[in-house]
Structures are given as C-alpha cells and as structure tokens.
Amino acid sequence: MKILSWKVSGQLGALAQRQIDAVLERGPDVLALQEISTGNYGDWCESLMGAGYSIVSAIDLVGVPYPEMAPPIRRRYFNLTATRRPIAPLKGLRFEDPEQLAVAFPEKYLAARVLVDGVPVEVHSADVPPSETLGLIKVHALQAIRRRVDESPDRPLVLCGDFMTPRSEDENGVTTWAGTHAKYNEEWEAAERSILEHPDLRRLPRAARARDPLSGFEVHARHAAPVRPHLRLAAAGDSGLCLSR
C-alpha cells in the first residue's frame, strides 16, 4: 500500500491544480493532506472523486469559533484523507482540560480506518500548530496525539504529517525545540519525544530520505507490520514525519 502525505499550504488556483496533478500522477492508495482550506476543498474533492477516491475530512471543525484574543485567530486549514479502498472516519483528539480544548485545533488532526486486503489499518494525519506565538498549544497537541495513538495499541497504524519536530537530527539522535522554551523545558522535551520515540511506532531516519525531483518534497519508504503495507510519504520540510506499526 502506497501512502502519500502532503502539507499543501492552502494553495489556490493554478498552484493547487499543480499539486492535484502531482498527486494523481503518483496514484497513492491513501492520501493524507494537511492545510486544506475551504477555498481549495472543492477542487481537491472534484479531482479526487473523479479519479475514484473516497474522502473524509475535518471541514466541519473549521467553523468552530476560536476564543477571542489579540491578535485574533481564525481557523483556516483542516486535514483531508482520501483512498480508493473502503474508508471510515474515526474519532479525533481528546482534551481532558476544558481550557486546553477551547484553544486547540481539532481540525488539524484526522483519523480514519482503511480496509487493506480485509485488514483494518488506522491512518492518522496530524498538522501540529506552531509554538512561536501560541504558548503550550503545541505541547498539548502532541500530548493529545500520543493519547489518541495509544488508544489503538494492537491495530496496524500509520501516523503522518507535520509535527514541528525535531529541531535537528544526526547520527547522535534528535534535538527537540525544548531548549528554546526554558520555562517549560521538561514538559516540552517530554511531549516531543513522546512522538519521536514512541516505543511501538517506527520512524524513518532522516538520513534514509530521498528527494522527489518532481515535487521537491522528501519521499520516505518503509514497511509496517503486521500487514506490512508499502508506505511512500511525501512530507514538506524537515518536520514531516511518518511513523508506523
């Protein structure tokens, strides 16, 4: 099974069409898109459905009002997952703290169950919010993702998308962004590593990635047990990850 994950950055018009053409040319079995907008959703739906894909998305959550703050924040982007195989949406993230829930971005996480040769495989697509201006929202999102993934410990699962981590990676391991947030260093470190070093998920080392000459995005290939689908992930930038079990 070939999976392609792409943060499309809300592109419109001709730029969106180039992205759509690139996806259809590659013909993934499962497509996980981040930063779809209401402005390009129709184009993606028309093209993907015309090519035989079924679609689930978090578009309904874009209309949820965001708390008032300065400067104001408006929900703009959401995730979309498409496949030519049977698919069903799954529940999203859970926030036990009402204050965390109020400022979260649930539209940036989408989970779905895809039937692969009779075996259900969970595909989780994440677009973690940035940390520069939003305090601990990134940390809380990563913690919620870890809780959500751990709800399905015995099922084949793929977790992909943009996680805004790690800060760097080399033969000695990864460096998180915790060092730039001294006040929350310990909590920040634990949140990022809870995804990067999840004991049951395998992550493709950055050194093993190749560059796709057509799209300019990185391509990842790996196998996931027990159904061992072949995964091919195109991830934008250094913070794109694919983890699987």
Rounded mean pLDDT, 217-242: 38
Token pair in block for residue 82? 């498409």
Based on the number of CB atoms within 10 Å of its own CB, is 85 exposed (0-12), middle (13-18) or buried (19 or more)? middle
User: What does the alpha-carbon distance between residue 165 and residue 22 come to, in Å, rounded to a whole number?
Assistant: 26
Beta strands 119-127; 109-116: pairing state: antiparallel
User: What does the alpha-carbon distance between residue 219 and residue 146 come to, in Å, rounded to a whole number?
Assistant: 24
Cβ contact 132:181 at 8 Å: no
Condensed to tens digits (0 to 9), the pLDDT of residues 22-73 reads 999 999 999 999 999 999 999 999 999 999 999 999 999 988 878 887 677 7
pTM: 0.83
Which pLDDT belongs to residue 153? 82
Pick the more confident residue, 180 or 20.
20
Condensed to tens digits (0 to 9), the pLDDT of residues 135-170 reads 788 989 999 999 999 998 888 899 998 887 777 777
Pick the more confident residue, 240 or 42.
42
Pick the more confident residue, 32 or 215.
32
DSSP character for 73?
-
Domains and CATH numbers, the chain: 3-244 (3.60.10)
User: What does the alpha-carbon distance between residue 222 and residue 242 come to, in Å, rounded to a whole number?
Assistant: 9
Three-class DSSP category at 75: coil
Average pLDDT, the chain: 80
| HSE toward the beta carbon, residue 90, CA cutoff 13 A | 21
pLDDT at 235 over 70: no
Beta strands 77-83; 54-57: pairing state: antiparallel
